[in-house]
Structure 1
Amino acid sequence: MNTSSFSSAPLPGKGVDTAKTFILPDKCFQNRVGCAWGRGNKFTIYPRSQTVSKTPSNTSQDKLLNIRQDILLFTPILRKLVNESNGTFLSLQKAADIAKVSDNQVEFLKLSRQFRSIIRVCIENLQEAASKEENGIEKNNILSHITIFYSIECIWHLCEILYIDNIPGDIVLPYLLEWVRFHFPCHEQTAAQLLEACERGSEEHKDYWDTVVGMVVQGRVDVARALLKLHSAGESNEFKLVDNSLRSMPVYSVYGGISTGEFTISWKHWQAECRSKLSSRVLASQPKLELIMRIIIGDYTAFESIRSKYSSWFDILGGWVMFTAPWSRRHELGGAAAACAGMQASPRSHLDDMVRALLEGDLHQVIHEIQQISDNGWFATHLTDILFHCGKLNIMDKQQTNVTSRLRDSLILEYGCLLMEHKSLWSVGLSYLASCPPEGLRRAELILERMPVETEAKAMRVIAEAKKHGLIGVAQSVCRCTSARHLSARRLGGALGWAVRARGAGAAARAAHAALRHYTQHATLPAVDLLLTAGSAMLLSDALLFLGKYCDFHRLYKTREFKKAAHLLVSLITSKIAPEYFWETLLLDTLPLLESDEAVFTSNDTYEIMLCLELRSSSLDSEKADLLRLALARNLARTALAEGDGTEEQAQ
């Protein structure tokens, strides 16, 4: 059967529901086709013939087309992200359990920063891989991955500020400025170079004024003042006036000893002074300085005029809040976002929509937007989970019941099932499913039962994970399947071992019968050590119990404990659990003991063997049966005389 494979993955930054069109390569697919879902995100397209041929054909009618989705997280360089974030996720679940009885907000913030650190390391690894990649297509793929995870880290950081961190006084400006500076470091490198050179006349640099304005907009007033002093006219009255205005700008601090109201009065008084200086036309000869003064008084047109200098409106967001309402609380940032987004000079991006929704406090829209990122649900799963445990999603439950918990569970279940498809990440996926009982464990049970188990090492791992999460039925099923695989390959020792581990009567009986049949042909017993130490597991089936006792008989015979061996052999003969095909072997095992120098069978034992021989005479050919009858008769005579004279003790 010929097979072909295609893969499909969403484009970076696009929605996961982006349509993908395939041109079927073979003429056999042009008429009628059928489709069948396989395991995971795969399906198979096959040609459907209108007539059924009775003879096999080697034509293109035997073609299968396998289509699967490329999973971004299965890329080797991103598996570290999956594994490390899993550890933080599990720590978060433990912290959430503690939070049910006491406040654990500090721990939530710590774990959020761990997630961001993991993302940052992932970005660095991708950047390193991109620098070494020579293949153009692969390099573009890695660069698209960098774009995706850069956006993820950016949104997570902002979400951490607005919804996870416990900000003193709820004054968000210092944290917002930090977010802008960290993710949109516009002109930072140029400023560092100019300050390091520390040369008068730095305005000759082509980016000098853009850098000064950029530092002001990012709230780095001290850097802007230092750059202004490097201007050749830095000692002029105009420059001193702007420098004095920047130096005297009030900065609010929760620990500064003044109330928000007092700071507001001081701030408005300072801005009034700045407006007065601006309206006096003192700076008319210096339009760049005038622009700076217009920015610090919060003039919308001034910000609008510099918007084109930046790649996005996020760059000026911190400056807009700083010079219009530095006392803003988190819930008051929606207006600032609308004002800055209104200055948009380029088409809106997916990142724009996410940031805007975050600043407006629309978490429902935020979760909807992050689900559209083509990272296979990693971001949506972990961010929603931490917001849920922080209690920030309760606003979504106003109209319905348990919306947040069901949303959180659905994302985790989907992400866990995705990881279960991978041959080495399935155990990570299992830990996610286990965090959403009972639905998660039911899904885990169904997936594990259908998981290919190619090696004993993987079987042992699956069993260990299943037992850890209480899926005993799965563990037994894997043991039974592994036992059957060993049995089909005639590895009888392995089949017996896995059957005993499975604790299944059927598997144990099949393996035991196979071992007994093997003994009848080759006179060797498999897994002797296992059979002698299996204990109560031997009670799983009559066949396994018989095999174990028969193995014990061989042990006693080899150690020359003949009387005990004879007693055990008689009990096996009279127990009526011996298989039909094994009666010949069982009866013939009495011959060496019957011919021993010392009588080991009592007269009663001899009569029992005689009775069984007559009842099972068809199991032996006539020559062997006659030989056994002769040995029994001689032993009976010997034991009868000894017992009658009382000169020997009866064999026990």
Structure 2
Amino acid sequence: MTTSKHLNLVPPVVEADHVEELVQSGRTTAACFSPYNKSLAVFLPPNPGSQLQGGSGEQDIYFASSEAQPSSERRLFISDTSIIFAAFQNFLRVSSTPENEWSQRDDSVRTIRKLATDYVNFTKECWIHASQATKENQSSLQFTGDHYRTLYTCLSLFVVLYVPDSGLEDAPVGDELMEWLNMHFIEPSTEEGDHLSSLEKPWEDETFWPYLLRATMRGLVKAATFFLEALSRHPSNYLRRLSSQLIPLLSDQPHLQNFAAERDFAHASRRWREKVKAMRVELTNVPESDRRDEYENWWDRLSSIVGILEGRTEVIEKVCDELGADWKELSVAWGVFADFRLRRQDLPDVVAQIVDDVPPDPTDMEDMVHASLFGGDPMKALSYASQLDPWLAAHMADIMQSLGLIDREPVEDTGLTVRDSYMLAYAEYLHSDAALWRLTAAYMFSCGEVGVQCADEVLLRVPLRLGVPQQSAGEDVTGVLTDTLRDVNAICFEYQREEVRRSVCKIAAQELMQKKEYGLAISYCSSAEDWPGLGRVVDRVLDEYIISGPENFTKYVSGIAPSLQVLNTASAAQGVFIYRLMFAVRYAEFHQRMSCQDLQEAAWDLVSIFQEETAPKSWWGVLLLDALGLLEHKAALLFSYPSACLLLRRLEEVFTRSQHGSGDDYLRMLNRKAHSTPEAALNQLQAVRLALARYFARCTMIGTGGKQFMGRRSEIPA
């Protein structure tokens, strides 16, 4: 997997044969990065020395990305393996063992091996799944089965060489490598074996001896002995006898896993080698004249097989060259036959000699990863792995650091460790898909202070998409509305990013306010302790009264009223903003009672708003104008005498302050409501002054007492 150095836009911004015209015009291409993923907006800006003449000035914009967004099958792979990554990070967090001592603790190494093996098994499943896809489905896969096979081979080799089972760290590694080689790079092929087994005289086929040589060198005992038994029908008495003697030698070759102690394995191997030497003597005694049949010099071929078992390096190299085997096969055969006690720490020296003569393929990143792992160079392996797939480099580096295979100290220039560099590169790849922001942040948060800062920026730019969906009757949309936001909050709590959480809540509150979800907006302002923001939300709710009248205003206030009780108990809440919310709720109650013709209660509400000083002074003009209809009510006197006096004092303050240059402080909302000037607003309030004069006259005529002034509330004039 490699990232192209070029972005091909379709259709192109400039046709290939018009590039010179673009250069001569003085214009050039420009691009802007997206704030929340790795996409680019590419466009041709106008020539700075000229002005657009006429037209709409519209400009074509091309969207491109340096990374292909993960497809559905790739997303599944990323998401499922992230579970293993999360388990690994949790193990690192809760482990009581210091990081630099993990490689010395058997229990820690067992856990790391188990999780590393989980990666191996999962890549194997993905390889099988992708390989079994139908031709139609194959075309829709972003990565072929062969890509996941390469991940599987690289990870499994890494586990074999660097995360061995407990107690096998210093044990011979040849048999394990042979098992790995036979599992991933099958030779000889099954088709060859089926073809030869169908022949009555398979030795007459030109592929017989190459097949037998390779089966021997690969340790495929059953296949090798099957065709050695077929030689029992060969015309040569010598070959029949020698092949029958060779069969038990192949079957009895000692393997480390069959012994409780390495010492016993070494002793058995030496005794077995003595038997091979005896076989060499038997082979040497065959007369020159009897060493060929009609098709082949069978003696040379059998001698090569015995030479492999003897561990003669020149024979192993010659056979590998004849068979076209690569450096891997030669290295593994060396560890099984030439030096059966070859250990992991000694393998790089052997491989260094081999690759001088049989180098890996520099154009094949899989082969280069294998060569680096065989050669004991984890840093180089990570470099090649990153070109193969950033996923592979990130997760290998994660395990390597835990085992002390790469430096844990940050690089001075970047402030990042080797592991963090590859992990952030993978996180940037995930960032190409905005839907994977949760995983992007999780990987970034594991990368020290630099990664934390990157994750913060990702969380701040997550598209919240707070639009209200279509709902059926009685359906609650709150859960749908805030799922993403709740996830962001949860991640911030998990990683203790309180400042980021508050910032995201502020952003959400602003979006919700624009969508007139005022109740939710206030909740998120409160969660962010953004009291000025809460005040702005309340102001927007109050604006609804000015813009669309009391009915809509009352409806919107019903959504924010529950927040008032919660905020009243919050010690951190700032009083000035709570009073503004309280005013909105009380004022909505006033209009609710007016609409229900509960005029007495409405009058008490209006007076109490002034008494408790919850109303901002900019609203006094509106409130006094609301009192006009109640003052002129013919059926009853709705205000007590002290209440009427309170209204008069507030009215006189509005007039006095307005005449001394503070009219905007007292009349701003009335001006907006009536679309009038301060002078016109004062003229409107003159009607309230006249109504109060008449009201006092009525009070004088009937006296200041009487049941019409009695009520459930005690009114104390301010």
Q: Identify the match of residue 441 of structure 1 among 449, 452, 458.
A: 452
1:511 has 2:537 as partner: yes
Counterparts in 2 of 1:479 and 1:400: CA distance versus 1, 3 Å: closer
The residue aligned with 1:453 is: 464
Does residue 604 of the first structure (1) align with residue 604 of the second (2)? no
Q: Would the alpha carbon gap of residues 192 and 487 (structure 1) be closer, same or farther in structure 2, given more than 3 Å must change?
A: same
Does 2:402 correspond to 1:389?
A: yes
| TM-fit CA distance, 1:33 | 1.6
User: For the structure 1 residues 366 and 639, does the alpha-carbon distance in structure 2 shift closer, same or farther, using more than 3 Å as the test?
Assistant: farther
Alignment of 1:256-271 (within 5 A): 258-259=263-264, 262-263=267-268, 265-271=270-276
| Comparing 553-562 and 292-301, the one that deviates more | 553-562
Shift of 1:543: 3.1
TM-aligned CA distance change 1:513 to 1:602, over 3 Å: same
Asked if 1 retains the 8 angstrom alpha-carbon contact of 2:327 and 2:360, the reply is no
What letter is aligned with 1:526? K
How much does 1:380 deviate? Answer: 0.8
State whether structure 2 residue 149 is matched by structure 1 residue 150. yes
CA, structure 1 residues 248+134, in 2 after alignment: closer, same or farther (shift >3 Å)?
Answer: closer
Q: Any stretches of 5+ residues in structure 1 without a counterpart?
A: 1-11
Match of 2:506 in 1: 480
Post-superposition shift, 1:218?
1.4
Seen in structure 2, the aligned counterparts of structure 1 residues 109 and 503 have a Cα distance that, compared at 3 Å, is same
Match of 2:431 in 1: 420
RMSD value over aligned CA atoms? 4.0
Q: CA deviation at 1:29?
A: 3.7
Q: Report the CA distance shift for 1:598/1:251 in structure 2 as closer, same or farther (over 3 A).
A: same
Determine which of 398, 407, 410 is the counterpart of 2:418: 407
- Corresponding residue for 1:75? 71
The 5 A counterparts of 1:576-615 are 576=613, 578-579=615-616, 582-590=619-627, 595=633, 601-615=639-653
Supply the distance in 1 between the matched residues of 2:276 and 2:282 (Cα, whole angstroms): 10
Structure 2: which amino acid aligns with 1:356?
A: A
Matched, 1:537 2:567: yes
Corresponding residue for residue 216 of structure 1: 216
Name the counterpart of 2:496.
470
Find the residue that maps to 2:233 and give its secondary structure: coil
1:218 counterpart letter in structure 2 = R
1:330 Cα deviation (Å)?
Answer: 0.8
**Of residues 23, 37, 52 in structure 2, which corresponds to 1:30?**
23
Choose the corresponding residue for 2:607, options 570, 574, 588.
570
Residues 348 and 376 in structure 2, CA contact (< 8 A), matched pair in contact too: yes
How far the C-alpha of 1:181 sits from its partner, in A, is 1.1
Moved more, 151-160 or 460-469: 460-469
Assess if the C-alpha contact under 8 Å between 1:42 and 1:68 holds in 2. yes
TM-score of the superposed pair, with normalisation by structure 2: 0.75
- Residues 278-293 of structure 1 aligned to structure 2 (within 5 Å): 278-281=283-286, 284-285=291-292, 286=298, 287-293=300-306
- Cα pair 1:433 1:443 within 8 Å, conserved: yes
| Percent identity over paired residues | 18
Question: Mean Cα displacement is larger for which, 309-318 or 411-420?
Answer: 309-318
What CA distance in whole angstroms lies between the structure 1 residues aligned with 2:265 and 2:647?
105
Contact 1:599–1:638 (Cα < 8 Å) also in 2? no
Question: Does the 8 A contact of 1:476 with 1:501 survive in 2?
Answer: yes
Larger mean Cα displacement after TM superposition, 238-247 or 81-90: 238-247
- 8 Å contact kept, 2:123–2:152: yes
- Equivalent residue, structure 2, for 1:52: 50
Q: Does 1:173 find its partner at 2:200?
A: no
**1:596/1:506 CA distance change after superposition, 3 Å:** farther
CA contact (8 A) 2:38 2:66 kept: yes
CA distance in 2: counterparts of 1:459 and 1:639, whole angstroms: 61
Q: 1:277 aligns with which of 282, 289, 304?
A: 282
Question: Does structure 2 conserve the Cα–Cα contact (< 8 Å) formed by 1:333 and 1:360?
Answer: yes
In structure 2, relative to structure 1, the CA distance for the partners of 1:401 and 1:616 (3 Å cut) is closer
CA drift of 1:472 comes to 3.4
CA gap of 1:147–1:431, structure 2 versus 1, over 3 A, is same
| Cα distance, 1:183 vs structure 2 | 0.4
User: Can you list the C-alpha shifts for 1:298-321, whole angstroms capped at 9, x where unaligned?
Assistant: 333433334353563323433332
Alpha carbons of 1:452 and 1:29: their partners in 2 closer, same or farther (altered >3 Å)? farther
43-52 vs 634-643, which moves further = 634-643
In 2: Cα distance, 1:134 partner to 1:251 partner: 41
- For the residues of structure 1 that align with 2:712 and 2:397, how far apart are their CA atoms? 82
- SS of residue paired to 2:44: strand
Corresponding residue SS for 2:30: strand
Paired residue type of 1:429: T
Deviations 1:199-238 (A, max 9, x none): 7534466644333222211112243112321345368212
CA distance in 1, matches of 2:152, 2:637: 87
Which residue identity does 2:50 align to in structure 1? V
Q: Which 10-residue stretch deviates more, 576-585 or 315-324?
A: 576-585
For residues 418-462 of structure 1, what are the alpha-carbon distances to aligned partners after superposition, in whole Å with 9 as ceiling and x for unaligned?
Answer: 323422111111111222343322212223323443334444443
Moved more, 419-428 or 228-237: 228-237
Q: Is the 8 A contact 1:358 1:366 kept in 2?
A: yes
Instruction: Give distance in 2, aligned partners of 1:471 and 1:346.
Output: 47
Give the whole-Å Cα distance in 2 for the aligned partners of 1:17 and 1:323: 44
Aligned-pair CA distance for 1:88? 0.6
Give, in whole Å, the separation in 1 of the partners of 2:244 and 2:369. 41
Q: Distance in 1 between matches of 2:700 and 2:590?
A: 22
Deviates more, 1:490-499 or 1:224-233: 490-499
Q: Name the structure 2 match of 1:6.
A: none
Indicate how the Cα distance of structure 1 residues 142 and 412 shifts in structure 2: closer, same or farther if over 3 A, else same. closer
C-alpha distance in 2, partners of 1:316/1:611?
Answer: 103
Contact map agreement 1:36 1:45 (CA 8 A) in 2 = yes
Unaligned runs of 5+ in 2: 98-104, 293-297, 467-480, 656-680
Moved more, 594-603 or 415-424: 594-603
Distance 1:354 1:639, change over 3 A: farther
Which residue is equivalent to 1:641?
705
Q: Distance in 1 between matches of 2:413 and 2:133?
A: 43
Find 1:96's aligned residue among 86, 92, 95.
92
